[in-house]
Structure 1
Amino acid sequence: MDQTAAHPHILGFDVFFVGTLLAGVAAIMVMVAIYAALTVRDPMQKRVKALNERREQLKAGIVSHTPKKRANIVRRSDTTDAIRMILDKLKVLQDSQLADAQQKLAQAGIRNKEWAVAIIFGRMVAPIILGGLAAIVIYWINYFPLWTDFKKFMGFAAAVVGGYKGPDIYVQNLITKRTAAIRKGLPDALDLLVICAEAGLTVDAAFSRVAKELGRAYPELGDEFALTAIELSFLSERRQAFENLAYRVALDSVRGVVTTMIQTERYGTPLASALRVLSAEFRNERMMRAEEKAARLPAIMTVPLILFILPVLFIVILGPAACSIADAFSSGPAATKK
C-alpha cells in the first residue's frame, strides 16, 4: 500500500511534504540569522574599499597611457571572463543588452560591471534548469497525480518564466530599495550642500563633506556623493562626473540636481540659490507623499476592520446577551413542566 496516498492533500500538495519543506527552510533561516548576528561587519569598510578602488581606476586612467597598465587596475574575474567567452561563442551577447544590464547593476549599487554578463547568462540558463526540474517532477515522476493537464502545464510554465525573470526581479528589487533610501535623504543632502556652498567650499569639497556627514544616516546617498566627489577631482570634464551620478541613480530628483549643477558650472549661476529652490521643492514633494499615504490609510484599513475588528467587537458586545437568551430559552420549558 502506498503510504503517501493516505497523506492529506490541499490543492494537490502533500501536507506532510509541504510542512517538512517549510520546517527545513525555517531551520536554514535560523542558522543564517545566527551567522549574521555573530559576524556583524562594518558597512563603512566595504564602502571605503569600493571608493578607493574607483580612485585607483581614475588615477590609472590619468597616469597610465597604455591600455595594458590600465587593465591591471580594473578588477577582473575568472568567472565572468569564462561566462563572457561562452556567451560570445553562442552569439547571444549584444552590446545594448550588456549596457542595460551594467546600468541596472550600477543603480543597484554593484560597482563591478563585469557581473552584467552573469545576469545575461542567468536569463539563459535558469529557465532551462528550472524548467527541466519542473518537467521531471511534474511529468516524469508525476509527483502531483491529482493535477489536471492544464495545471501541470501552468506549473511548468511558471518555472520557466520564473527562471527567466528571476535575475531581473532580484536586481530590480535592489534598485527599488536603494532608490527609496536615496530619495529619503536627498532633501537633507541638498540643505547641507547649500550650507557648504554659502561657506565658500568648492563643489567637490561640498560633495565630500556632505558624504561624510550623511554617511551614517543615509549610507547609499553618502556612497554616491563620495564617488561623485572623487570623480570631480580626477575627471577632466566635471560634467561627466555629474552625468555619472544620474547614470547610477534611477531617480528623477537626482537628474534634476545634476541638470542644475551642470547649468551652474556652464553659466556661472549662483549655486546656493538654485539648490535652495530644489531643496524646498523636494521637501514639499516628500510631504505630499506622506499626506498621500495618510489619505490612503482609511481605505486600506477598511478590509482589516471588516474582517478582524468588527467580528470581535460584535462577539464581545452581543456574546453575553446571546448567552443569556440561550440560557433563558433552555431553562424555560423545564420550569413550565415543574
Structure 2
Amino acid sequence: MTLFRDPTFLTWFLGITAVMYWVGMTALAGRRRVRHIQDMYEPGMRKTPGKLRRSLAGLLPVSESGMDRLEQELKRAGYYASFAAIEFLATRNTIVVGLALIGGTAAVLSDPTTSVPELIMIATVVFAALAYLVPRLILKIQSRARLGRIETGLPDALDMVRMCLTGGLPLRGALERVAQEVEFFHPDLAVELEVVRRHAEADTMPKALREFSRRLNTPDVNALATLVSQTERLGTHVAVAVTEFADSVRRQQRQRAEERASKTSIRMLFPVIFCLAPPVFILLLGPPVLQLKNFLKDAHGVDGVLNPETYSELPTNDSSPEN
C-alpha cells in the first residue's frame, strides 16, 4: 500500500492506464462504426422521425437541388441514415427560429427609448445567420476530412483485395475480409467497403460500385468503379487491374503531395514578407540609423561640425597688404 502513496509511481500508473484505455477505445471505434452500418440494414433498427421533426425540418425552405447536395454531403461525412437530412434540417431550423424568437422577445421587452432594441435585433440577425451557416460549414469540413482519410487508405485496401482475389476469394468475400482487416487503421474506408458489399448482395457489384462512386464523387473512387465494372464486363482478371490501379493511385497521391508542397512555398511568401522581413530590416538598418541619429545630434551641438555658431566664432584672415 505504501507503493501507491508514492507520487511518482501513482503518476506513471495513471498515465499508463490512460494510454491503455485510449488504445482500447480506438480499437473498438472501427468495429462500432461497422456494426452501426450493419444495424442500419436490420428492419428492427430503422427509426423514422416523427411529425414534429418533419415540421421543424420544413420551417425554412430548401430547393430540391440543395436537398440533394445536403444528402450527398451527409453521406460523405458518414451519416448514412435515410432521415439524416431531416434530422440536420430540424436541428438547424430549431436553433435559428429559437434565436429569432428569443431575440424578438428581448427586443420587445427592452426599453424603446434607448438603442437597446436595435442592438438586440442586430445581434439576433447575426447569431441567426451564423446558426444557419456554421452547421453546413462544419458538415463540409467533416466530409472533406473523411474523403481525405478514405483516399489515403484506398491503395492499402486495394492491395489487400488483390491478395484476397489471388487467394481464390470472390470480390464480395474479398471486400468483407478487407473491411474487417482495415477497420482499425482506416475505419471510414472499412465502413464504405461494408456498404458496397451490402449493396452488392442486394443487387450487382457494378451497380454497388456506381453507387459508391456517386456517393463519394472523387476521382480515385470514380476510376475504381469504372475499372472494376469494365473488368467484370470484359471477363478479365480483377486482381491485375486492381494492382495496377493501386500503383497509379499511390503515384497520383505522391504527385498531389508534391503539388501541395510546391504551392506551400508560394503561400509562405506573404507571411515571410509581412512577419519576418520587418525584424530583418530592423536588425540591419537599426544600428546605422541610431549611429546617424547620434552623429546629427552631436554635429548640431556645441562645437559641432553642423552648428553655424561654430564657424562664426572662428577668426577670419582679412589681412590687407602693408603700404
**Is the structural similarity TM-score above 0.5?**
yes
Partners in 2 of 1:47 and 1:83 — Cα distance? 33
Aligned-pair CA distance for 1:309 = 0.9
Aligned twin of 2:230: 263
1:138/1:262 Cα in 2 relative to 1: closer, same or farther (>3 Å)?
A: farther
> What CA distance in whole angstroms lies between the structure 1 residues aligned with 2:27 and 2:107?
47
**Amino acid corresponding to residue 286 of structure 2 in structure 1:** G
* Cα contact 1:123–1:165 (8 A) shared by 2: no
Deviation at 1:113, TM superposition (A): 3.0
Give 1:93 shift. 9.4
Moved more, 98-107 or 175-184: 98-107
Against the structure 1 CA distance between its residues 334 and 295, is the aligned structure 2 distance closer, same or farther, given a 3 Å change threshold? same
Aligned position for 2:149: 181
Partner of 2:170: 202
Deviation at 1:127, TM superposition (A): 3.2
Aligned-pair CA distance for 1:333: 4.8
CA contact (8 A) 1:107 1:247 kept: no
The letter for the 2-side match of 1:193 is: V
Equivalent residue for 2:263? 296
What is the 5 A alignment of 1:145-294? 157-229=125-197, 231-232=199-200, 234-294=201-261
Matches within 5 A, 1:1-338: 40=22, 42-55=25-38, 58=41, 70=43, 72=44, 74-76=45-47, 80-84=49-53, 86=55, 101-133=70-102, 141=110, 157-229=125-197, 231-232=199-200, 234-334=201-301, 336=303
Cα distance in structure 2, aligned partners of 1:51 and 1:154: 46
Question: Which amino acid counterpart does residue 75 of structure 2 have in structure 1?
Answer: A
Distance 1:302 1:107 in 2: 34
C-alpha distance in structure 2 between counterparts of 1:39 and 1:128, whole Å: 41
| Aligned twin of 2:4 | none
The alpha-carbon distance between structure 1 residues 85 and 320, as it changes in their structure 2 partners (threshold 3 A), is closer
Rounded to whole Å, the distance in 1 between the matches of 2:59 and 2:121 is 29
Shift of 1:284: 3.2
Unaligned runs of 5+ in 2: 1-17, 305-309, 311-323
Contact 2:26–2:184 (Cα < 8 Å) also in 1: no
Letter in 2 for 1:51: V
Displacement after TM superposition at 1:111 (Å)? 3.4
CA 39–187 in structure 1, closer or farther in 2 if over 3 Å, else same? closer
Structure 1 residues 160 and 87: alpha-carbon distance in aligned structure 2, compared to 1, 3 A threshold: closer
Q: Secondary structure of 2:268's match?
A: helix
CA contact (8 A) 2:57 2:89 kept: no
In structure 2, how many angstroms separate the alpha carbons of the residues matched to 1:283 and 1:139? 62
8 A Cα contact 1:98 1:117, kept in partner: no
Shift of 1:99: 6.1
Shift of 1:133: 4.6
- Show structure 1 runs of 5+ residues with no match: 1-35, 61-69
Percent of residue pairs bearing the same amino acid type: 22
Q: Which amino acid aligns with 2:171?
A: V
Give the structure with higher Rg (CA).
2
Greater per-residue helix proportion? 1
Contact in 2 for aligned 1:122/1:167 (Cα 8 Å):
no
2:212 maps to amino acid: L
Equivalent pair of 2:103/2:121 in contact (CA under 8 Å): no
Asked if structure 1 preserves the Cα contact closer than 8 Å seen for 2:34 and 2:190, the reply is: no
Q: How many Å separate the matches in 1 of 2:249 and 2:213?
A: 16
- Aligned partner of residue 50 in structure 2, secondary structure: helix
TM-aligned CA distance change 1:137 to 1:254, over 3 Å? farther
* Backbone CA RMSD of aligned residues: 4.1
Contact 2:231 2:237 survives alignment (8 Å)? yes
Corresponding pairs, count: 285
